[in-house]
Amino acid sequence: MGMRWFVALLMFGPLAVWADPPASDTLPVLRFNTVCAHCHEGQCSGRLSFSLGPEATFTHIRRFAGDVDGALVRQLQALLEHMKRECAYAPLPAPDMHGPLQREILDAYRDPATGNYFMPLGKLEPGTYRLTLHLEAPVSLRVEILNKWFDFLVDECFGCGRAVLPVMLEVDEASKHYLRLRSPTALRLEELRLSRETGGAQR
């Protein structure tokens, strides 16, 4: 079922809104985009750098992706192949960003094994944006926002002193954007809001 879901997304692209709890079929994409992708972003070549077949990557994947079974390691290998060949993240359905997102929606973008998040923010037009994160509890946190070319617009680390974090974002060129949150300790979002600052239309 997991591989069929992945192939269907490659063929038909992301859905407009994803408000349901995370299905097990989405977990390989979340694991790859939070644990594996940040080492392979920008390594696009139109081909794989592994010439010995998919099995040659399994040891590498298990070393970095944690305790993964045979089915998951094959799904992660397929996602690695997709990133290297297509120079893109595997598509995930994007939430409706017109208004705050609550925990029941945000949980769909959280890998329960690691507590890390990966979420499409949709296509952002040039301008200044404010991302506000409401955490369940203050934790040390790395906030990354990237565009579709894997350029970092935000790469910022926060200490564990605050449960509400405002993050400013400058968009120079319209494109799809992505949010990744990583923490060494348990991380849970209660609310997320992305708004355009004064001088542009509100999102």
Which residue reads 């329960």 in tokens?
A: 112
Distance CA 5, CA 170 (A): 34
Asked if 165 and 96 touch (Cβ cutoff 8 Å), the reply is: no
Predicted pLDDT of residue 20: 38
Residue by residue, pLDDT tens for the chain (203 residues) are 333 333 333 322 332 233 333 444 788 888 878 877 766 556 565 555 555 555 656 655 555 555 665 576 777 777 777 777 788 888 888 999 999 999 999 999 999 888 999 999 999 999 999 999 999 999 999 999 999 999 999 999 999 889 999 999 999 999 999 999 999 988 999 999 999 997 644 44
Retrieve residue 155's tokens. Answer: 């790469």
Predicted pLDDT of residue 126: 97
Q: What is the DSSP letter of 110?
A: B
Class of domain 101-196: mainly beta
Retrieve residue 138's tokens. Answer: 């203050």
Residue 87, Cβ density class (10 Å: 0-12 exposed, 13-18 middle, ≥19 buried): middle
Where are the domains positioned within the chain? 2-86, 101-196
